[in-house]
Structure 1
Amino acid sequence: MMTIFDSAAALEQALGQSLGVTDWLLIEQSRVDQFAEATGDHQWIHVDPEKARSGPFGGTIAHGYLTLSLVNYFLPRLMRVENLQMGVNYGCDRVRFPAPVRVGARIRGAGEITQVETLANGAVQVVVRVTVEVDGSDRPGCVVDTISRYTFNSDA
C-alpha cells in the first residue's frame, strides 16, 4: 500500500515509519540486456547465459546499477508526495549490493523514512532507505539511502 504525504509536517511525523513493500518484479534477461546496451556494460556474467551457467553465480545476474536504478521504479509505489511546487531527486548515500540478483529472480522494494530535515529555503529533505529484497534470499540485492527535496505549496 502506498503512503501519501501532503505536507512537510506529514513527512516529519513519518520519521522512522516503514513504508511497507511493493509488489514483486521479475528480473528478465531482456531487461538486463537492455541495461547492458544502454550502459555499454556487456560483461559475460550479465549477458551470456551459456557461459554464466558455469560461472560463480550459476547463471546471469543483473548489473548492480540496474538493481539500483529500479529503486526509482519502487519509490513511487511506496510513497507519493502531493501539494508540491517541486520535488527533486537530490542523490543517494550508502549504496550497497549485499547479494547478486539472478536473472529469473523476483525483487521488491521495502522503504523506511530515516531522516527528515527542514532546509533554510523552506524545502524539506527526506531520506528514504530502500531495501531491494530478493525472493528466497536472506540478503538484499541492494540497500540505498535515497535523498529527495520537496518544496510544498504555501498552504501546506
Structure 2
Amino acid sequence: MSIEAALKSLEADIGQEVGTSRWITVDQPMIDRFADVTHDTQWIHTDPEKAATSELGSTIAHGFLTLSLASRFAYDCFPLMPGQTMGINYGFNRIRFLSPVRPGARLRGRFTLTAVRKRTATELLRETQLSVEIEGQDTLALVAEWLGLAVFA
C-alpha cells in the first residue's frame, strides 16, 4: 500500500473509534518495578501499610505508569499497514489523569482517530484520542491526545 492509499484509508476513519485493546492487570509488583526504574518511590505507590491509612485507602499506580501502558495498548490496535515499516511515538498534545489506579485494577485503551496528515514523503502523522478505562469504574484513568508517526518505505 502506498502512503497516499494509507492516508486516504485513514481519512475515512477520522472521528471513528479505531481500536480497543485487551485488558491488562496493574498489580503491586508492577507498581514497585516502575517505582524502581523511575526512582519514584513515594510511599503512596510503594508502602501498602502506610497507604492503607491515607485518604486513598491503598497504594496507587503512578500516573506515568498508566500513561506508559499506552504503548502496550497500541500494539493491540495499530498493526503495521501494508508498506509501513514502523510506528514512532511522536508525543502528546494533552494528558489528564482522571482517576487513581489501584493494585489489581484492569486497564484497557480505547482509541479514536481525530486527525491524520502527510508529514513527509514517508510519514503520516496520526492523532488519536486515547481513553484508558478501569474495569468496573465509570471514571477513566486518563485521557490523552496522542501523536504517532506511521513510517513508510
Query: What TM-score, normalized to structure 2?
Result: 0.89
Name the residue aligned to 1:12: 11
State, as a whole percentage, how many aligned pairs show the same letter: 39
Superposed CA offset, 1:77-107 (max 9, x none) = 1121322144321111111101000111111
* Whole-angstrom CA distance in 2 between matches of 1:119 and 1:40: 36
Name the residue aligned to 1:50: 49
Contact 1:127/1:147 (<8 A) preserved? yes
Unaligned runs of 5+ in 2: none
Name the residue aligned to 1:116: 116
Number of residues of Structure 1 aligned to a counterpart in Structure 2: 148
Amino acid in structure 1 at the alignment position of 2:130 = V
Superposed CA offset, 1:24-66 (max 9, x none) = 2111100000000000000111000011111121101000000
Q: CA RMSD in A?
A: 1.5
Secondary structure at 1:42's aligned position in 2?
coil
Contact 1:91/1:146 (<8 A) preserved? yes
Query: What TM-score, normalized to structure 1?
Result: 0.88
TM superposition shift of 1:120: 4.5
* Whole-angstrom CA distance in 1 between matches of 2:87 and 2:103: 33
Unaligned runs of 5+ in 1: 1-5
Secondary structure at 1:51's aligned position in 2?
helix
Range that drifts further, 119-128 or 129-138: 119-128
TM superposition shift of 1:122: 5.0
Aligned in 2, Cα 1:50/1:29: closer, same or farther, shift over 3 Å? same
Amino acid in structure 2 at the alignment position of 1:89 = N
Name the residue aligned to 1:145: 145
* Whole-angstrom CA distance in 2 between matches of 1:49 and 1:85: 44
